Amino acid sequence: MSLFWFLFFSAHLAIASSLKVHSADSGLKHKQPDMQLKLYHMTSLKSPPNSTSLLFAYMFAKDEERIRYFHSRLAKNSDANASSKKVGPKLAGIPLKSGLSMGSGNYYVKMGLGSPTKYYTMIVDTGSSFSWLQCQPCTIYCHIQEDPVFNPSASKTYKTVPCSSSQCSSLKSATLNEPTCSKQSNACVYKASYGDSSFSLGYLSQDVLTLTPSQTLSSFVYGCGQDNQGLFGRTDGIIGLANNELSMLSQLSGKYGNAFSYCLPTSFSTPNSPKEGFLSIGTSSLTPSSSYKFTPLLKNPNNPSLYFIDLESITVAGRPLGVAASSYKVPTIIDSGTVITRLPTPVYTTLKNAYVTILSKKYQQAPGISLLDTCFKGSLAGISEVAPDIRIIFKGGADLQLKGHNSLVELETGITCLAMAGSSSIAIIGNYQQQTVKVAYDVGNSRVGFAPGGCQ
């Protein structure tokens, strides 16, 4: 077993063990030292694994855990969604960058917090309803992060949120975990847990949020993490943009409107690219609306905070896949936190067979790697020139038109794979397929739009 995989599995064991230690009525509690030591080896890595295949295996393993998490969420009743049709001023585009250099397959922005303002490297996640970052004094554990850890005592505007507050009562819908209360300070204690067994535990807090120097929110509610364990790379925390009253989106909607848009820059295909994407919050970020093709957002009674859309059909090289229309009728989520798109198994199998039929005329097939089972001997640049276009079509005519950089990934030098996988009962449109496409979430009007053309 390589050192990387030893540390990876040690981290998972440490996290799983530590989840059993926190009691429901005692707020924050310390863990056993040996568990903390095992995890420290994993999270103190200052850069991603230097082997490309190990890096992808690491992120795909995390991706698979997230998919299982969505499966379990769809089987449960949970949160209530928020909605607003308020039209407000547009927030200037905030630079959005690939987290690949920090060991994350997700994307991050710099978020300002506190008075005076300090900036932090935060993952943007449309599948999360709650925002948090690591905080001093790291009472139990903090992983190694990109920036100095936030110090609440250095902010003149920081305060904890009491247990009796409405925000504390709303934590169950945002985190799917019951809040607890600190007996010492009467501060509300949150726990945000994720599908890969990662979690953050700390105090529900309030402070000044700064997205740009002229655009702030004086009473931003978030988590101040004192025990943060798992596979977050070297990022400082997570920004939740799901449709829930505690998400950053909903907290900003009263001022700017219930909408946001982003464009994800290329990541794996050009890992050293200096290009940036953007995140923009507010209904004015949807303009010009004529540049977008929209599809309705669907309500899912089990998970109204997630963004569901209606997958209608897929074409390869302009030809519709020969599958029954019913094969597409599974819950379909668009998600910035999942890397690789998952399609219903009958759809994926037919798609990959069509892809192989075309590409195998020029390129020899190679064994699959990790969860990607359709690979070829050749470079991404070379195969992309002859790869067939894939068009993913949603209700209302909105679509994602995928060229080589959105459908193929070079996992090892000279080995390039189709960047999709099958799934038994749900579909997820991952961030790899969203790269360089402007995606608009018009939550107030229950629709999502796509506009090709890059992140200009």
Distance CA 199, CA 193 (A): 4
Catalytic residues: 125, 335
Six-digit token pair at 411? 């996992």
CA pseudo-torsion sign 175, 178, 182, 185: positive
For 207-244, the DSSP string reads EEEEEETTEEEEEEEEEEEEEEESS-TT--EEEE-SSS
Q: Is the pLDDT of residue 29 over 70?
A: no
Taken as a whole, the chain contains a residue count of 456
Mean pLDDT (the chain, rounded): 84
Give how far the C-alpha of residue 64 lies from the chain's centroid of Cα atoms, to the nearest Å: 13
List the beta bridge partners of residue 359: none
Distance CA 159, CA 161 (A): 7
pLDDT score for 93: 80
Which among 444, 101, 78 has a CA at the least distance from the CA of 265? 101
Q: Is the pLDDT of residue 342 over 90?
A: yes
In this structure, of 90-94, 105-109, 218-222, 252-256, the range with the lowest mean pLDDT score is: 90-94
pLDDT score for 52: 56
pLDDT score for 105: 87
Q: Is the pLDDT of residue 334 over 90?
A: yes
CA pseudo-torsion sign 257, 289, 297, 308: negative
pLDDT score for 197: 81
Whether the Cβ atoms of residue 312 and residue 321 lie closer than 8 Å to each other: no
Q: Is the pLDDT of residue 89 over 70?
A: no
pTM: 0.84
